[in-house]
A and B are shown apart, each in its own frame.
Chain A
Amino acid sequence: MLGVRPIAVPNRESWEAWVVEPPLPPEIADIGTLLEPNLEFLQQLRPDIILSIPFLDGIKPLLERIAPVTSISIYAEDGQPYERSVAATRQLAQLVGKVEEGEALIRETEEKFAEIRLRLEPLSERPIYVVSFLDPRNVRVYGRKSLFQEVFDRIGIRNAWTAETNYWGFSTVGIDGLAGSSNARLAYLDPLPTGATGTLTESPVWNAMPFVRSRSMLHLPPVLMFGTLPSATRFAQVLADALTAESANG
């Protein structure tokens, strides 16, 4: 991205399952877990810059011994992860001397949203719940202060979940909590926990849910819910694809 390739990321193996895009080239090293990256290993890789998150502020002095650290926060009390992603992109672009590429990425993202907004105009009258299944009975539903909400706002889709959300823009509820809107669609993200689909089809509550009865469910591939611009674009894209495929099928 921005024409610069990272030399290492934490939790490499989770990338495939949760992020997918952009794909990770094989030569990028894995430096361990997100919250405890292997410092000894990291130093031997001799990075130029370390990008960090506020959660790691506790070890910032240690990271700074290896390379200059830039700590980026996408989440804050007032939400707006998209606005913050744009700001973070500019900050990063400046940092690696790719200001042009950074502006291009922001521009492309906006253009993509505009294009998808136009494409989805005829399909946007019904609100949508976006959820990740935690087990067969409970979901995380994304709402205000989430990245997905801000994408919705930009592509002209209404979020069916209007209730409170936490700091990271989601709320954990039982499936029955999704009965609030009578004409909503349900978009659920991969990966699914084992057993979720099998048990669901047998549950009377599930089968009575408005979106199940009207068969308006969208099964989406993985999108990082806590991502930045690339995840935002990816979310808009997979949602638009699923919606148009559904309307084409009837």
Chain B
Amino acid sequence: MADQAATMVPAGSTSHRLSFLGNLPLGALLLCAVLIAAATAATISNLTVQLPSALWVDALTAPDIDDMRQVLVHYAYLPRLAVSLLCGAALGLAGTVLQQVLRNPLAAPETVGVSAGAYLALALATLLAPSLLAYGREWVALAGALVAIAAVFGLSWHKGLSPLSVVLAGLVVSLYAGSIGAALIVLKHEWLAGLFIWGAGTLGQQDWTTTLWLIPRLGIAALAIGLMVRPLTLLGLDDEGARSLGVPLGVYRFAALGAAVALISFVVAAVGVIGFIGLAAAALARIGGARRFGQRLIMAPLIGAALLWAADQGVQLLTGSQGDLLPTGAITALLGAPLLLWLLPRLKLGSETPALTADRLPRALHPGLLLIGIAILLTAVLFFALFYGPGPAGWNFAFGDQLQSILSWRLPRVLAALSAGAMLALAGLMIQRLTGNPMASPEVLGVSAGAALGMIVALFVFVDASRPTQTIAATVGAFAALSVMLALGRRAAFAPERLLLAGIALTALFDALILILTATGDPRAMLLLNWFTGSTYGVDINAAILTAGLAAFLVVLTPLFLRWLDILPLGPTAAHGLGLNLTTTRLLILLMTAALTAASTLIVGPLTFIGLMAPHLARRLGLARAMPQAVGAVLAGALIMVAADWIGRTAIFPRQIPAGLVATLIGGPILMWLLRRR
């Protein structure tokens, strides 16, 4: 399965210093002790506010039903505590098993898309088929989780499930699930407030049902993992070594994976998505010196439980009993992003051989003809997008005196969609050729997330922020994110895999913020979501012309990059041999990508997947060299985006579906098909 097994270096120096003390994971134990001490202190403080300590034993064993304080401690406070411990432990265990099975130090419930899949399945079931939930929420969650992980495997299979490609595919799947979720919210948000709260990981309880529901389910999954410790330990070796010991690898690998996915699904079904506990617990156990798999299986759940316990008590301490609801799961996700950034330099991922496994794909005999074909198609779609659409009297072609006023609405949107699609496609092409990773795209570079963070700040700092303010804030955000990325990447000579991972961390940070906003019911979150889903709505002609001008300018610059883009996929050694200064080349391509992404993100939001899709589409059609692929991708990107905008404007007239969302919904399956196992 994974031929480039990832090795993990547990924060080198510490573990060496500790090794003379025997093989105990002292760091991890110490961390656990600190966390438990903090959590205990917070627990005592929270409990004291609720009930005088003289009554604690009564409240635990035989609560007086007439004393509201005791009822609350017994049926709300204590079960919440139990649930936080259970879920934290389950996520830590699941994270460790995933890392072992996938030989991937970054694997975790969030990073492989499992949490997002389970969440989306439950959200869809709640809205569209509530009767399904009667069979058990866990089954719905499990089905969603399995679909998600199957999609992740499908997307990263041809890269041998290498750590980076799995995590990237996981992010893409999570983002995809997220944008379907956003579609539901935009179209039916009045009914979804409860879903937000649950989705953001609220641990609040009102009886012991959830606890009692979780214990047997988590217990069985944990037991199954416990029975597989020996074969799973061998899985950590390379395939050869394990096979020579006579272990049927495949069976155990799938069984363990199933158990981990089940653990995650149960947690999601019970309390929603608890961000980053799984990753943090598994990684901290390793870094704390738990090197053997058996040790990690014990330490990671302990750390996970302690982490979530401490985090949840901290949240309760912050909000108090009458404070606004703050979902713990989103808070942990918020804390998880910096943690991921901190972890990056401490992980040894092994650099990936840039190999767009494209060489087996057919090459077009007449690339020129093909490009002309796409261009004709684009022209046709442009014509319909501008002139044909529904009105108060049904579908009609715009003509005569109507024409001018209708065009004044449609032209800016079509122009904006066209430019944004072209720019995103070009950005995607560059980042994919730069990183040699087919799952790389502008969305995962973090620039989009940076722009989105800028928007959030603008909406909350300036009351009634006007459009220019929003634009400036988003631009500042995009470049701030880029600076962070560049600062992080400089040490590694802009090694692509570091950059992609940093982008993932930034994206996660942004996601967590959105979750917190929506869960507290702030109406401003809706404005953000509308933009987030990629709407060309409200683009005026000046903004559209500006974007189009920018797009034209950047596209004209592209020929300067073409030679590099042809060479880079051959690998660093070949690039050196051909006299390329890697650092400078990478920096320039990165800047170009960031400019393209920022300019398009401002118009159509951070989530379109055009950047991911269009280059693959061009390649699949047989455009192999950088030049024809670039032209093909730009045309295809523009085509998809204009078509998506037109469909979005007309499909449920007079309501509108954001263009970015339409592109995503159509593009997801296409992408799966393009990247299908070869």
What is the interface of chain A, defined by CB distance below 8 A to chain B? 14, 17-18, 29-33, 35-36, 38-41, 43-45, 54-55, 57-59, 61-62, 65, 77, 133-138, 140, 163-164, 166-168, 170-177, 179-180, 182, 193-195, 202-206, 208-210
Known: A38-B653, A57-B466, A164-B324. A204 touches B206 (CB 8 A): yes
* A35-B654 in contact (CB<8A): no
* A205-B540 in contact (CB<8A): no
Instruction: Please measure, in the bound complex, the distance between the C-alpha atom of A179 and the C-alpha atom of B75, giving whole angstroms.
Output: 13
Task: Give which listed residue, A170, A172, A203, contacts B197 with CB less than 8 A.
Answer: A172
Q: CB of B655 within 8 A of chain A?
A: yes
Q: Which A residues lie within 8 Å of B538 (CB)?
A: 36, 58-59, 62
Instruction: Please measure, in the bound complex, the distance between the C-alpha atom of A194 and the C-alpha atom of B134, giving whole angstroms.
Output: 13
B 268-304 to A, binary, CB cutoff 8 A, 1 in contact else 0: 0000000000000000000000000000000000000
Instruction: Please measure, in the bound complex, the distance between the C-alpha atom of A58 and the C-alpha atom of B276, giving whole angstroms.
Output: 36
Instruction: Please measure, in the bound complex, the distance between the C-alpha atom of A33 and the C-alpha atom of B657, giving whole angstroms.
Output: 10
Instruction: Please measure, in the bound complex, the distance between the C-alpha atom of A17 and the C-alpha atom of B408, giving whole angstroms.
Output: 35
Q: Which B residues lie within 8 Å of A35 (CB)?
A: 526-527, 530
* A54-B520 in contact (CB<8A): no
| Closest CB in chain A relative to B382 CB, distance in Å | 17
Chain B 119-168 residues near chain A, CB threshold 8 A: 126, 130
Q: Which B residues lie within 8 Å of A58 (CB)?
A: 466-467, 470, 538
**Can you list 6 A-B contacts (CB < 8 A)?**
A36-B537, A59-B467, A135-B198, A172-B519, A173-B325, A174-B206
* B325-A172 in contact (CB<8A): yes
| Closest CB in chain A relative to B630 CB, distance in Å | 34
* B76-A205 in contact (CB<8A): yes
Known: A36-B535, A194-B130. A172 touches B206 (CB 8 A): no
| Closest CB in chain A relative to B321 CB, distance in Å | 6
Q: CB of B391 within 8 A of chain A?
A: yes
Residue in chain B with minimal CB distance to A39: B409
| Closest CB in chain B relative to A197 CB, distance in Å | 13
Task: Give which listed residue, A55, A77, A138, A177, contacts B194 with CB less than 8 A.
Answer: A138
Among B322, B408, B467, B649: residue with most chain A CB under 10 A? B322
Task: Give which listed residue, A33, A180, A210, contacts B186 with CB less than 8 A.
Answer: A33
Instruction: Please measure, in the bound complex, the distance between the C-alpha atom of A194 and the C-alpha atom of B128, giving whole angstroms.
Output: 12
Q: Which B residues lie within 8 Å of A40 (CB)?
A: 389, 391, 406, 409-410, 649
Q: Which B residues lie within 8 Å of A170 (CB)?
A: 521
Known: A176-B72, A176-B76, A204-B75. A55 touches B527 (CB 8 A): yes
Among A44, A77, A204, A206: residue with most chain B CB under 10 A? A204
Instruction: Please measure, in the bound complex, the distance between the C-alpha atom of A210 and the C-alpha atom of B65, giving whole angstroms.
Output: 11
* A77-B463 in contact (CB<8A): yes
Instruction: Please measure, in the bound complex, the distance between the C-alpha atom of A177 and the C-alpha atom of B324, giving whole angstroms.
Output: 10
| Closest CB in chain B relative to A68 CB, distance in Å | 17
Task: Give which listed residue, A32, A174, A208, contacts B68 with CB less than 8 A.
Answer: A208
Residue in chain A with minimal CB distance to B322: A163
* B71-A174 in contact (CB<8A): no
Q: CB of B191 within 8 A of chain A?
A: yes
Task: Give which listed residue, B71, B410, B519, B655, contacts A208 with CB less than 8 A.
Answer: B71
Chain B 168-193 residues near chain A, CB threshold 8 A: 186-187, 190-191, 193
Residue in chain A with minimal CB distance to B526: A35
Q: How large is the interface on B (under 10, 10 to 19, 20 to 34, 35 or more residues)?
A: 35 or more
Q: Which A residues lie within 8 Å of B325 (CB)?
A: 138, 172-174
Known: A38-B654, A135-B194, A194-B130. A54 touches B206 (CB 8 A): no
**A-side interface mostly:** mixed
| Closest CB in chain A relative to B316 CB, distance in Å | 11
Q: CB of B392 within 8 A of chain A?
A: yes
Q: Which A residues lie within 8 Å of B193 (CB)?
A: 134-135, 140, 193
Q: CB of B523 within 8 A of chain A?
A: yes
Q: CB of B216 within 8 A of chain A?
A: no
Q: CB of B656 within 8 A of chain A?
A: yes
Residue in chain B with minimal CB distance to A41: B654
Q: Which B residues lie within 8 Å of A14 (CB)?
A: 190
Q: CB of B522 within 8 A of chain A?
A: yes
Q: Which 9 A-B pairs have the closest CB atoms?
A: A135-B194, A208-B71, A38-B654, A205-B206, A163-B322, A40-B409, A172-B325, A134-B193, A59-B538
Q: Which A residues lie within 8 Å of B389 (CB)?
A: 40
Residue in chain B with minimal CB distance to A165: B324
Q: Which B residues lie within 8 Å of A65 (CB)?
A: 408
Residue in chain A with minimal CB distance to B412: A62
| Closest CB in chain B relative to A152 CB, distance in Å | 18
* A36-B530 in contact (CB<8A): yes
Residue in chain B with minimal CB distance to A206: B206
* A179-B466 in contact (CB<8A): no
Known: A174-B206, A208-B71. A43 touches B521 (CB 8 A): no
Task: Give which listed residue, B76, B198, B406, contacts A174 with CB less than 8 A.
Answer: B76
Residue in chain A with minimal CB distance to B65: A208
* A172-B324 in contact (CB<8A): yes
Q: Which A residues lie within 8 Å of B410 (CB)?
A: 40
| Closest CB in chain B relative to A56 CB, distance in Å | 9
Instruction: Please measure, in the bound complex, the distance between the C-alpha atom of A143 and the C-alpha atom of B68, giving whole angstroms.
Output: 23
| Closest CB in chain B relative to A161 CB, distance in Å | 8
| Closest CB in chain B relative to A186 CB, distance in Å | 14
Task: Give which listed residue, A33, A36, A137, A171, contacts B206 with CB less than 8 A.
Answer: A137
* B656-A36 in contact (CB<8A): yes
Chain B 201-217 residues near chain A, CB threshold 8 A: 202, 204-207
Q: Which B residues lie within 8 Å of A18 (CB)?
A: 190
| Closest CB in chain B relative to A201 CB, distance in Å | 12
Known: A44-B391, A172-B520. A193 touches B194 (CB 8 A): yes
Instruction: Please measure, in the bound complex, the distance between the C-alpha atom of A174 and the C-alpha atom of B467, giving whole angstroms.
Output: 36
Instruction: Please measure, in the bound complex, the distance between the C-alpha atom of A209 and the C-alpha atom of B653, giving whole angstroms.
Output: 47
* B464-A32 in contact (CB<8A): no
Q: Which A residues lie within 8 Å of B405 (CB)?
A: 43
Q: CB of B323 within 8 A of chain A?
A: yes
Instruction: Please measure, in the bound complex, the distance between the C-alpha atom of A58 and the C-alpha atom of B205, giving whole angstroms.
Output: 41
Residue in chain B with minimal CB distance to A202: B207
Q: Which A residues lie within 8 Å of B186 (CB)?
A: 33
* A179-B68 in contact (CB<8A): yes
* B653-A41 in contact (CB<8A): yes
Q: Which B residues lie within 8 Å of A31 (CB)?
A: 654
Task: Give which listed residue, B75, B205, B535, B540, contacts A61 with CB less than 8 A.
Answer: B540
Chain B 451-478 residues near chain A, CB threshold 8 A: 463-464, 466-467, 470
Instruction: Please measure, in the bound complex, the distance between the C-alpha atom of A36 and the C-alpha atom of B654, giving whole angstroms.
Output: 10
| Closest CB in chain B relative to A228 CB, distance in Å | 16
Task: Give which listed residue, B65, B323, B409, B521, contacts A140 with CB less than 8 A.
Answer: B521
| Closest CB in chain B relative to A160 CB, distance in Å | 11
Q: Which A residues lie within 8 Å of B65 (CB)?
A: 208
Task: Give which listed residue, A44, A203, A206, contacts B392 with CB less than 8 A.
Answer: A44
| Closest CB in chain A relative to B366 CB, distance in Å | 40
Chain B 42-96 residues near chain A, CB threshold 8 A: 65, 68, 71-72, 74-76
Residue in chain B with minimal CB distance to A75: B523
Among B65, B197, B324: residue with most chain A CB under 10 A? B324
